[in-house]
Structure 1
Amino acid sequence: MAPFRRKVRATDAGDVTRKGPDGGDSSDNGDVSGLKKFTQRKPANTAFKQQRLKAWQPILTPRTVLPTFFLIGLVFAPIGAVLYYFSQQVNEFTIDYTDCRTAPASPQQQQIPTSKYDYQLHDKNTSNYQPPTWSWDEAARTCDLYFSVPAQLDASVFLYYKLTNYYQNHRRYVKSFDSDQLLGKAVSRSTIDGGECKPLDIDDASGKIIYPCGLIANSVFNDTFADPVLLNVAGGDSQNQTYVMSERGIVWPGERDKYKPTSYSANDIVPPPFWTGAGAGGAFGFPQGYSNGTIFDPSDNEHFMVWMRTAGLPTFRKLYKRNDAEPMPAGRYLLRVTDNYPVAMFKGTKSVVFSTVSWVGGRNPFLGLAYIAVAALSVLLGLIFTARHLIRPRKLGDMSFLSWNQPDSHGR
């Protein structure tokens, strides 16, 4: 078998002419045409395409780098201190009522374990503080939480519920809803069946459409919180006084536009399975199903809107009530919770959270501490590099010898 010799491809003008067997030059028309095609692919001879645009490239020297480190520390430190200070001014306390069913029967009370509550108050008055207690009413399935507010909470005051170990960020969970259905459209059975709401799209028993369909709506939080009652009002005419909080205005701006009353007929739809179960209650309790005049209206329930905006972390809190007008007086309070929502199935916990806000938001010191940490690190690195430069300085090169600082052929 004769040996094969690889054909050399012309890549530039010097490759067009090759040596023949006799040592002479031989031209290949195919190579010439290949050269022409190659030259046509060259970028245009412009400053942009040939990367000859003027650019500024900083030269890092101790004279420029060291002051930068100290400047970052000088700027970030006060910003972090301000953010941290105002974050600490936010009053907040949390009570975990997951195990309230183990409490004694009402009206007897038992002190809540210290691991179940957390007070973070910047002006806590210990003389006006008692540990929280709880009691349980089996017949009404209610948990009575007795807690102290040591110092007045200035408006606005927010009431949240908090869940742990609950992964609303799961891919299938996040996608499990039908936006057209929530906008009030009577989406057909063929569209819902096998869509994003699967497996909660069609009811197996009746063959009817589940409304609202999907995992998010089916698992909506349905514990209810009554307005807290201030007990033993000092100097008041009445024994008890209710601190009224509103369930309106708890959704983000623009959220209402995603929900409209449905166009479905009650004969065509059924509630989600958990809305008809033993634990169903409140606005999400439909043990007998839907009938004309009793169909769930998502546009009128802000708790549903808050729940449908899924959380990104497994531990999260969602707003339930608020009072923007009146402060919450100091004293001993009773909060009655109707316990409908099970958390044992996902090994989670549920808590109630009272909080105020400042101009930097809620009580979250992370941002302030992050600024302070960056400032401290910058100053530390600045001191280390300064000491290194003073003890063992490094001789710098002459920047006049850089290529872009050299004169061109015209002496410029």
Structure 2
Amino acid sequence: MALFGRKKSNKSEQSSDSEPKKEKGSWRRPANTAFKQQRLKAWQPILTPRTVLPTFFIIGILFAPIGGLLIWGSGLVTEITIDYTQCDTVGGSPTDLQDAITNHAVTVPKYNYRLSASESDQQPSSAPRYAFFNDTTQTDVSKQQQCIIQFDVPYDIKPTVLLYYKLTNFYQNHRRYVQSYDADQLKGDERSASDLQSGNCKPVAEINDGTSTKAIYPCGLIANSVFNDTFSNLTNVNPADSSTTTTNYTLSENGIAWPGESKKYVTKPSGDISNLAPPPNWALRFPDGYNDSNIPDLKSDEHFQNWMRTAGLPTFTKLWARNDADTLQSGTYQIVAYMNFPVKPYSGTKSIVISTVSWIGGKNPFLGWAYVAAASLFVLLAILGTIRHLLKPRRLGDMSLLSWNRQ
């Protein structure tokens, strides 16, 4: 038995000796390939004055004309901005809209009006004016508070003419605000009040009307705070043709949203409409709630679609209407802004912006000046580097300049 056991022991020793020994941690060692052992061929340029300084000059020379073209393209855009935030503070008791603008209008302060003209030699003859009229005879409550704005167009403006509204100090980029909507509900899926309450729409997810709890459609902070000021068409109050007293410049509210935005929404939500309620701030639009014949068509509401595409900065503009066919003739124009959207509680402002487009789009001189500034910086660094290299050159790889070789 002892002999048997000794032989068994020797056999086990021989088998263990024949197996290759694995070093500690070898299972974590990368394979011996060029890629994993970082032996691939690579270009490692040595940055010398002869390569860096010409590169700076080339970048500066290229960026300067690009910036100049962008600034020139932005200068081709005509833009008229009128802030009407304080319009409802204009005094007086006008009897009608015409009496308001004739006898109670005040001049818009200079800091609330700006004209960026493509034809700089032509400026308006007078500053814009506005007046406020509270028309209590209007059955539509959303059109009772009227701000009548008159402004000069100093020269003919060719299409496309765009009407924007502009808000300041409104942070649509807040994290909780951006997430506050339900994509499934907007696409038409039936969502109960409890479903929305447990999602991102809280606290604008459900509402109790005293008898039952209803799901808000569309839910969330973004939909609840939708911009609800509206605007009339432009009216030329002193047309060149004396045979007519007024000339309307019609603006279309179609084609103002990005292509494909309508795919995110449905014409009518599924399920029982009686279980849905409008957002709290939609009371002016739907004072009696929803029914089968009175429900928002989000698929065709391009104003709503523009608002749901949140802005990245607290000062932003969103397109309201456009005219792609007609020239806006020079003259004095009038537009009525129906004021419903509150901006004073958060120290914001609201304005109308009438703008054109050029080959680079809307007015945005910042990009052009950024290119010019970058070009100037590169050229300046190249000049300073060249002077330094000529006055006090240094030998490449000079070991005496190492810190431990200095005395």
Normalising TM by the smaller chain, what interval?
0.7 to 0.9
Structure 2 CA distance for partners of 1:143 and 1:65, relative to 1, 3 Å: same
State the partner residue of 1:51: 38
Q: Which among 51, 62, 70 is matched to residue 75 of structure 1?
A: 62
Gap runs ≥5 in structure 1:
1-28, 399-412
1:271 aligns with 2:271: no
State the partner residue of 2:193: 189
Amino acid aligned to 2:280: P
Residue identity (%)? 51
Q: Matched residues in 2 for 1:360 and 1:92: separation?
A: 15
1:216 aligns with 2:227: no
State the partner residue of 2:161: 157
The normalised TM-score by structure 2 is 0.85
Amino acid aligned to 1:382: A
Structure 1 contact 164–350 (Cα < 8 Å) conserved: yes
State the partner residue of 1:91: 78
1:388 aligns with 2:393: no
Q: Matched residues in 1 for 2:37 and 2:121: separation?
A: 72
State the partner residue of 1:146: 150
Helix, strand or coil at the partner of 1:342 = coil
Helix, strand or coil at the partner of 1:267 = helix
Q: Matched residues in 2 for 1:347 and 1:210: separation?
A: 28
State the partner residue of 1:111: 107
Mean alpha-carbon deviation: is it higher for 68-77 or for 233-242?
233-242
Q: Matched residues in 1 for 2:21 and 2:28: separation?
A: 11
Structure 1 contact 156–324 (Cα < 8 Å) conserved: yes
Q: What displacement does 1:33 show?
A: 9.4
Gap runs ≥5 in structure 2:
1-15, 95-99, 136-143, 399-407
Structure 1 contact 177–214 (Cα < 8 Å) conserved: yes
Structure 1 contact 90–358 (Cα < 8 Å) conserved: yes
Mean alpha-carbon deviation: is it higher for 124-133 or for 195-204?
124-133
Q: Matched residues in 1 for 2:368 and 2:151: separation?
A: 30
State the partner residue of 2:7: none
User: 1:393-404 counterparts in 2 under 5 A?
Assistant: 393-397=393-397
Amino acid aligned to 1:324: D
Write out per-residue CA displacement over residues 206-253 of structure 1, whole angstroms, 9 at most, x where no aligned residue.
411111111111111110100010111112421110001100000011
Q: Matched residues in 2 for 1:382 and 1:127: separation?
A: 42
Structure 2 CA distance for partners of 1:223 and 1:73, relative to 1, 3 Å: same
Q: What displacement does 1:390 show?
A: 0.9
- Count the aligned residue pairs: 361
Q: What displacement does 1:43 show?
A: 2.6
Structure 1 contact 265–292 (Cα < 8 Å) conserved: no
Q: What displacement does 1:41 show?
A: 3.6
Q: Matched residues in 1 for 2:226 and 2:86: separation?
A: 20
Structure 2 CA distance for partners of 1:115 and 1:34, relative to 1, 3 Å: farther
Helix, strand or coil at the partner of 1:246 = coil
Amino acid aligned to 2:55: T
Amino acid aligned to 1:136: F
Q: Matched residues in 1 for 2:203 and 2:383: separation?
A: 61
Q: What displacement does 1:344 show?
A: 1.6
Q: Matched residues in 2 for 1:362 and 1:223: separation?
A: 23
Q: Matched residues in 1 for 2:334 and 2:120: separation?
A: 19
State the partner residue of 1:10: none
How big is the alpha-carbon RMSD for the aligned residues of Structure 1 and Structure 2?
1.9
User: 1:229-268 counterparts in 2 under 5 A?
Assistant: 229-260=235-266, 261-268=268-275
Mean alpha-carbon deviation: is it higher for 311-320 or for 179-188?
179-188
Amino acid aligned to 2:79: E
Structure 2 CA distance for partners of 1:183 and 1:38, relative to 1, 3 Å: closer
Q: What displacement does 1:50 show?
A: 2.1
Amino acid aligned to 1:228: L
Structure 1 contact 223–338 (Cα < 8 Å) conserved: yes
Q: Matched residues in 2 for 1:323 and 1:195: separation?
A: 40
Q: What displacement does 1:34 show?
A: 8.3
